[in-house]
Every structure is written in structure tokens, then in C-alpha cells.
Amino acid sequence: MPSTHVIAGAHLAPVFLDAAATTAKAVDAIGEAATAGAELVAFPESFIPGFPVWAALSAPIHNHDLFRRFVAESITIDGPEVGLLRRAARRHGITVSVGISEKSHTSVGSIWNSNVVIGPDGSILNHHRKIVPTFYEKLIWTPGDGHGLTVTDTAVGRLGALICGENTNPLARYTLMAQAEQVHVSTYPPLWPTRDPAAGGKPYDLEAAIRVRAGAHSFEAKVFNLVVSAVFDDRVKDELATLGDDAARILGDDAARILDGTARGVSLVIDPFAEVISDVLRDEEGLLIQEIDLDQCVEPKQFHDVSGYYNRFDIFDLTVDRRRVAPIAFTEPRFGASAAAAYPDLDADLETAR
């Protein structure tokens, strides 16, 4: 297996709150990345159908219209949108990592902030749900579980992925390190407001936070870190302004000013020595293309291998529960394998009665 590979980050804006159109845009980007020679292309956090930034800007009592729309445009893991992405991955022979807002089959209102990794044959390699929604994201998404804290073998090496603030969680990151991760995907929204810039105090600098997190994980795990953030475009503002009375309260002058004054996310690649080795994409859409050499993951392991000799497993112990959490489990009736077997066909029943 060669040690050099080409990876890509889709630094794009979703078609806000339009799952079908955003999926079509992702399919086009998959083809573009493959044409550029990439073996992996990663998309941002909640790329389909966009990031629910309104939760930072307005009280929950004003957000009902937006939440209903967001749930309606969220997608299922077995739905047509993921099906199109799987077919595109297989058609172009490329591994795809994509952030989605995932709809539930067990509730009409619960959704997850999820990431799906699709192999070049179209198979789903990993399905991760963000273990803890961050700050105001708790008003939107349900907590996930440990099922997707998995590193998978891909054409570009052993691949792991975490969503936004999960890259601040040392135990989540260590879980991937301890599975011999070589390439890490970090996904982010286009921006993450935490303060009104006019109110004073220290605003949250998303780019600075990304650089700290990504550099720390690259240096500690000795991995390549592909960071992918979304782009915030005017279509988001326009769409928010058309979503009814509740939504109209959100995008007033104050909200627009806060959004304009909030730091944007970036897309970049960091090497195992914690150095940025790619272009840095910010405000404009584009495809980030970077060649990496997995052999560079080996030398720094001689200095610090925290999932190997540079640790004390007699002192520290970590257990990860990978069970997929479900709200209910069904068992079949004791008197038959299924309801169909327990109750005969109606026509046959009537014939016997005669």
C-alpha cells in the first residue's frame, strides 16, 4: 500500500435548509474531488441541511418554525440522500465523510448531529452521532452514543472523525488514538456565535479554537488532521428572513450585526508535527486539495506514543461503551417467531371456518 495519498476538504456552503439541493451539491463536489485525484473528500458538520445557527441568536420560544423546518429537512441514514452519496462514492471510487442532521425512525422530533463515512465501494464504513451537543446545540440535537467512536481502514489509511467540540474531548480523541488512527477528520460549522460583539467580553474565535484543537490532536496522536468548515453565505440570511413570524424575529438588525461580527471557521490540513501544510480556506467556497505521506506518522511516535509505550496502562484505564442507544427493544411472542406466523392468513381462516 502506498504511503502518499491525496485528500480533499469541501469548504462549501450548504443550500440552507434544502436537503435535496445540498445533496446534489455534495454529489458534484465528490466528482470534482475525484477528478482532482483525491482518494478522500470530507464535508463540514451538519452540511446536510445546514447548521442551526438561529439557536445562538434568539430565545427558543421564537424558534419553533425553524426547528420544524430543520427536522423536516434532516435525513435518515437509510434515506435517498445518503443513497445518492453512496452511489457517487462508488461511481468515483472515493471515500466520503459527510456531516448530516440525522432524522430518527423512533421519534418525529428527535434528531442527531451525525457524521457518515462511506467507502469507495459505496458501503457505510462508520456512522457516528455527536456524543454531546455543544452549548445551544442542545436545543436542537439529541446526545449520541459511543457506537461511532471507531477508526476504519480506508484507501488513505486508518481514518477517524469527530464533530466540532468533540475535538476538545480528550477521552473521545484518545479513543481514536488507541485504534492506530492515521488520518483524522474534524468537521465544523461556518461560524459559532457566543456573544454580541458590541456587548464586550471575549468572543469565541472559531478559527483560533480550530487551530488549537487540530494542532493538539495532530501532535498528540501523530496524525494528519483534515479540518473542514462550512461557508456562511447570504442565502442563509435570506432564507431565515422568509420563514414566518417567529423566524422574522431572529434576523433583525442585531442578529445580522452579530453574524457579521462573528469569526468564521476555516478549512486546512495539519501534519503529525502540528504544522499547517495546506492552504487555509476561509470566506470563499473551494475545494481544499492536499497530498499527505503516512510514513510521517511513524517518526514522531518515537517521541510520544500515548497509545503505546508512552503511557501507564497500569495506572490509567478507559472503557468505551459502543452499544447503539435505542429507546425501546422488542421481542417476538413466545408462541411464534412473528406476528405473521402467530396469526394465519385471513382467507385460510375463513375456509377452515366453513
Q: How far apart are CA 22 and CA 34, in angstroms?
A: 18
Q: What is the mean pLDDT of residues 261-280?
A: 97
Q: What is the pLDDT of residues 13-47, one digit of tens each?
A: 999 999 999 999 999 999 999 999 999 999 999 99
pLDDT band at 350 (very low <50, low <70, confident <90, very high): very low
Q: What is the pLDDT of residue 248?
A: 58
pLDDT band at 208 (very low <50, low <70, confident <90, very high): very high
Show me where the domains of the chain are located. Answer: 4-302
Q: What is the pLDDT of residue 108?
A: 96
* Percentage of the chain exceeding pLDDT 90: 79
Q: What is the pLDDT of residues 287-325, one digit of tens each?
A: 999 999 999 999 999 999 999 999 999 999 999 999 998
- Asked if pLDDT for residue 101 goes beyond 50, the answer is yes
- Asked if pLDDT for residue 179 goes beyond 60, the answer is yes
pLDDT band at 133 (very low <50, low <70, confident <90, very high): very high
Q: What is the mean pLDDT of residues 85-108?
A: 97
Q: What is the mean pLDDT of residues 85-107?
A: 97
Q: What is the pLDDT of residue 236?
A: 82
- Asked if pLDDT for residue 242 goes beyond 70, the answer is no
- Asked if pLDDT for residue 160 goes beyond 50, the answer is yes
Q: What is the mean pLDDT of residues 336-345?
A: 54
Q: What is the pLDDT of residue 335?
A: 55
Q: What is the pLDDT of residue 235?
A: 84
Pick the CATH number of 4-302 from 3.40.50.920, 3.60.110.10, 3.40.50.2300, 3.40.1280.10: 3.60.110.10
Q: What is the mean pLDDT of residues 257-281?
A: 95
- Asked if pLDDT for residue 344 goes beyond 70, the answer is no
Q: What is the pLDDT of residue 354?
A: 46
